[in-house]
Chain A
């Protein structure tokens, strides 16, 4: 099973600032990595797939990078609606499909 580890668990950021979230895989997942955003009481929403491709309708301030075992989600200038929990997920080696534990982005 591929174990996904996200860091930090919580990130405190001021509106307008840049946020950088990390995701590490226990073995190479190539570029088979997705990022999701989840707000309280809502289902997750797909942000990024293929490590770096934005999903339909996702603003350009969200960007993904990395391959192999190290991945990054960057939010260039945080808006109020971006405060949420973010999950990475690999789909290179399955079953099982595995998620990271999440990073909560909160207002500083």
Chain B
């Protein structure tokens, strides 16, 4: 079965760091593009970052603080989040992008909750 499973969400203080994991099964992350998308409580969807064939890209709201990476041997994508702020509080989903030219998110994980609060 093709699926993504996130983990690593937690309650963290402002200024702290956290690493989220996204484990893939049924396909290999090395041959696919993977994004992180977040959803603040009661709000809409916000794209955060993508690991693509052309490199890594970030939303302006997280640039310089978040880093996306992957471990092909573990078939897992990570999101390292530093200097966390209250406004980073959200459910974080990882999602697979269909390869270009079509680029929609076809597979989503169940999400992991990150709460930034003192």
Contact = CB atoms under 8 A, between A and B. Distances in A.
Say which size band chain A's interface belongs to: 20 to 34
Interface string A75-108: 0000000000001010100111111111000000
Nearest to B110: A43
Contacts of A89: 45, 104-105
A50 B104 CA distance: 8
A71 interface: no
Contacts of A96: 47, 57, 59-60
A34 interface: yes
Contacts of A44: 45, 93, 95, 105, 108
Given A96-B47, A98-B47, A46 B103 contact: no
B interface, by DSSP: helix, strand, loop or mixed? Answer: strand
A25 to B, nearest CB: 15
Nearest to A47: B104
Interface in A30-58: 32, 34, 36, 38, 42-46, 49-50, 55
Contact of A99 (B44, B58, B102): B44
A76 B100 CA distance: 30
Interface in B98-112: 98, 101-106, 108-111
B115 to A, nearest CB: 16
A99 B110 CA distance: 19
30 contacts: A32-B101, A34-B104, A34-B105, A36-B45, A36-B105, A42-B110, A43-B93, A43-B108, A44-B93, A44-B95, A44-B105, A46-B105, A49-B98, A49-B102, A49-B104, A50-B102, A55-B106, A87-B44, A89-B45, A91-B104, A95-B47, A95-B50, A95-B58, A96-B47, A97-B35, A98-B47, A99-B44, A99-B46, A99-B47, A102-B44
Interface of B: 35, 44-47, 50, 57-60, 93, 95, 97-98, 101-106, 108-111
